[in-house]
Amino acid sequence: MKPHILICNDDGIYAPGIMALYEAVRDIGEVTVVAPDAEQSAVGHAITLSNPIKIKRVRRNAQFKGYAVVGTPADCIKLAVTVLMERPPDLIISGINLGPNVGISVIYSGTVSAATEGAILGIPSMAISLATFEDPLWETAAHVARRLTQEIIARGLPADTLLNVNVPNRPLDQVKGLAVTRVGRSRFAEIFHKRTNPRGDTYYWMDGELRIIGDTAGTDIQALADGFVSLTPIWFDLTHTAVLPKLRDWNLTL
């Protein structure tokens, strides 16, 4: 029996990245597509509780068909695994995202959160992003996605782990290789552009830039800058274990 692959994203089911991913892996296994009906970038791991989650069937060409979900990437994974799929997937792939998901971006990313939800459900999961916002070379990221899909199906992933993959936007023969990395430290420095609508109401557009913190050696940020594909194993336990003894030393009482 062919492996069952679930693909999702946060750019929406009509985005070119998810089509490139589908074409890259569709002959490897049975592929189910469940993705947001519209862009859901930077929604993190949000789920929908206060509104109904609507779905509709989508066909983009003779091969590509799936479900468009009025919801978040995490909604898509939950709904797909629990309701829409006849059998659980053997692998979940989220992407191909337009833009990198390195450093602090992994917290905000809907792409990474879809894969995180898969890992929470006990399913091997991978998020893949192309590190550009202009002139994307989808074929490079698609090649990487296919290669890693074959490897994960053959080897599996450790329990409770998702693989976050970031691909430099360059021709495949100019990619220097694969680098196993840690998440780099960074933060966004936000800028809010103030505007006024015709009714006199104030609103803001948020913009900003990623600022790198500390040493970048061995990080996803540095690997991309050096022309490597970064492979970062991620676990969703956010406990800062090194601080636990210090808190216990407080000897707090009520």
Fold for the domain defined by 4-183+215-236? Stationary-phase Survival Protein Sure Homolog; Chain: A, (3.40.1210)
pLDDT tens figures, 217-231: 999 999 999 999 999
pLDDT tens figures, 93-112: 999 999 999 999 999 999 99
Ordered by start, the domain boundaries in the chain are: 4-183+215-236
Query: How far is residue 172's CA from residue 143's CA, in Å, rounded to a whole number?
Result: 8
Query: How far is residue 201's CA from residue 95's CA, in Å, rounded to a whole number?
Result: 37
> pTM above 0.85?
yes
pLDDT at 209 over 90: no
pLDDT tens figures, 2-60: 999 999 999 999 999 999 999 999 999 999 999 999 999 999 999 999 999 999 999 98
In the chain, what is the straight-line distance between the N-terminal and C-terminal CA atoms, in Å?
Answer: 59
Residue 176 CB neighbours (<10 A): 12
Assign 42 to helix, strand or coil. coil
